Structure 1
Amino acid sequence: MRTNIVIDDKLLEQAMHVSGLTTKKDVVNKALSEFVQRHTRKDLRELQGKIQFTDDYDYKIMRKRC
């Protein structure tokens, strides 16, 4: 979708520098993608008390497998 918007030039320049991306389009697409990911990610605090682990669950053993 083609859209015309006014973007702060200094902010866009900083985003291009920090991200290493070379086009305005790539920077805007990356920013939108990260925004959507961040805001759709489940808040871990909402899961508190809702996850049941088996009695023999040992996270230390699970970490050693990786």
Structure 2
Amino acid sequence: MATNLSIDTNLLDEALKISGLPTKKDTVNQALTEFVQRRKQREVTSLFGHLPQDADYDYKKRRK
């Protein structure tokens, strides 16, 4: 899908250099992938402390 975007060229050039990827397209796709993954991780961490605990779970036993 072809899309025309107005992207900050300085930011894109820096991302291209840091990523080491060969093209701007690859860099933008990688950045979008990482963005989506990070947001999904944030959703998971919001569940911490809200799920029921297993009363039979012994975390000390799992350390071995």
TM beyond 0.5: yes
Gapped runs of 5+ residues in structure 1?
Answer: none
Deviating 4+ runs (over 3 angstroms) = 53-56, 60-64
Q: TM-score, normalised by structure 1?
A: 0.70
Name the structure 2 match of 1:7: 7
Q: For each residue in 1:6-37, what CA deviation from the matched residue of structure 2 results, as whole angstroms up to 9, or x when unmatched?
A: 21111011001111112000001001111111
Gapped runs of 5+ residues in structure 2?
Answer: none
Name the structure 1 match of 2:51: 50
Matched ranges for 1:22-41 at <5 A:
22-41=22-41
Partner Cα separation in structure 1 for residue 61 and residue 21 of structure 2:
40
Aligned AA for 1:39? R
3-state SS of the aligned residue for 2:47? Answer: helix
Alignment identity in percent? 46
Partner Cα separation in structure 2 for residue 25 and residue 63 of structure 1:
44
Partner Cα separation in structure 2 for residue 56 and residue 39 of structure 1:
29
Matched residue count: 63
Aligned AA for 2:58? Y
